[in-house]
Amino acid sequence: QASSLAEFEDVSKLKQTLVRDREGFDSAAVVDRYLESLNTRSFRAYFDENMEALAIVLPPTDSSKLAQLATLTMTRSAWLSNIADNVFQNLKRDFPKLAWTVKQDDENLTWFSEKADGSIARRGEVLFWYGIESPEEVRELMSEFVQHGRQMFGDINLESQLHRAAAAAERIRAGAANLMGNRPQQDKQQARGFSSSARPARPSVTSAITQKRGYATTTNPNPPLGIKNSDKDYPSKVALIGARGYTGQALIDLLNRHPNFDLCHVSSRELAGQKLKGYERKEITYENLSPDDVRKMAENKEIDCWVMALPNGVCKPFVDAIDESGHKEALIVDLSADYRFDSNWTYGLPELVQRGKIASANRISNPGCYATAAQLGIAPLIPHLAPQPAQPTVFGVSGYSGAGTKPSPKNDVQNLTNNLIPYSLTDHIHEREISSQLGQDVAFIPHVAVWFQGIHHTISLPLAEKMVSRDVRQLYQDRYHGEKLVAVRGESPLVKNIAGKHGVEIGGFAVHSGGKRAVVNVTIDNLLKGAATQCLQNMNLALGYAEYEGIPLE
């Protein structure tokens, strides 16, 4: 901690910390002026030894009992470790009341929400606070933010200073461009252009402050990391255990196109000795790897990522072998249901689970196909559902690839023709998975149909208060804003349009005439976003590659 610049051992390191990852024109000069202003103000700074994290707080004044978090900067490793949480614990210990602002598209918005008691959005910014118990004090704070935005904190907010500098640079650039536009053509060709190294301020996304009918939401609280997650420039070695099934084949096809995954071993008892088809980057022969083989490979640190594509109840000996080796930090992604209810594993549904948590995990349980689509179809309405025992009901229909490759009535095309087969009408494992993850009882009724791949859900949702279709659709559009693998549409999505695609489509958004029941449709390819694509998305996040690397996007 420090309460004056003299208490910092290395002021130049402090400057470097404040400049990193900052937008704006001449950020170094702005930071210099910012530090000069701290010489005349009372402040408290919190940081770790390597300055992975730095927080600067203005204590309460005589006119306000509210402290202000004026500056917060963290490296990616600080966000993914416990450093960020430790810093905030210190803030809560020292300042009973605190307010701060964050950009609405900040990738760590969910983390800030968890630390706050309340928030409000305005023109691309979010004001957070904690410790304010008086409704009148909250109203005053919100009113000031609505009128002034982050400027309510004055010049001490570093981001405000950088933003203004960038805006000034853009005005200069625009003025110069206008001047150039008025010159004769010959002069334009001879004149040197202004430097474009200073980026203009980003346009803000406006968010409604007043909540129409109480249903308006802010933008996606868990936005994609995208290329921001990419901090690794060398390939990772992958082993696939259990590659005979449809999901294994779909994953092999994705790995074949991924620039940073080196598939080294593929194990299948039935196909051992045969050449792997569909992987063109090198020749691979199927092996029949035992848990002992896996243990030895793990001890030698031969593999960075193990993908378990085995039936339910089969992969534990392989996981145990890796856990017992000296390379426990290797990533394991399990495609079965074996670890979906294990609190020591991270549930890998990036659109609903905090992405930073997945990025720092080394044991990831890949969600089920039915469960992925159902959760995405229900989650935005969770705060608006009627109280239990009322519950959502999911009528799900899957293509027969979901029944696997082992012959059964559920993947017999002749039996399925002109037919629809219901099964596991209660207590299906995905019913438990959906309910467990959403914290809400959900009824799930699965069926299998004659098409090969793709799932269609019709979801009936009881509402706590009356809504209209427009309100419901807006909730979904806001919640999944920026998600590249979730498309929100007005019309009901069709299975034939999702087969072979890597995302989820949500639509329909019908509301009963009484206003107390909504119906939503969801489609997903059970082999892709329902399994292999989601696995690759989780691998990218956990291994430090861009989130959508290797995933075909439309």
Walk across the sheet containing 486-488 and list its strands. Answer: 421-422, 443-448, 393-398, 455-462, 517-524, 504-511, 486-488
β-bridge partners, 234: none
What DSSP character marks residue 528?
A: I
Which residues lie closer than 8 Å to 116 by C-beta, 6 or more apart? 128, 129, 130
Cβ proximity of 446 and 370 under 8 Å? yes
**Strand, coil or helix: what is 238?**
strand
**Strand, coil or helix: what is 466?**
coil
Strands (E) across 381-533 are located at 393-398, 421-422, 443-448, 455-462, 486-488, 504-511, 517-524
Cβ proximity of 160 and 24 under 8 Å? no
Q: How many CB atoms lie within 10 A of CB 18?
A: 23
Tokens 């001890």 — which residue? 299
Instruction: Give the β-pairing of 125-130 and 261-267.
Output: unpaired
Tokens 């992405």 — which residue? 355
Angle 223-229-231 (CA atoms, 0-180°, nearest 5)? 170
Catalytic residue among 264, 305, 315, 369: 369
369 catalytically annotated: yes
Tokens 């979906």 — which residue? 340
3-class SS string, 296-352: HHHHCCCCCEEEECCCCCCCHHHHHHHHHCCCCCCEEEECCCCCCCCCCCEECCCCC
Tokens, residue 49:
């030894």
Catalytic (active-site) positions: 369
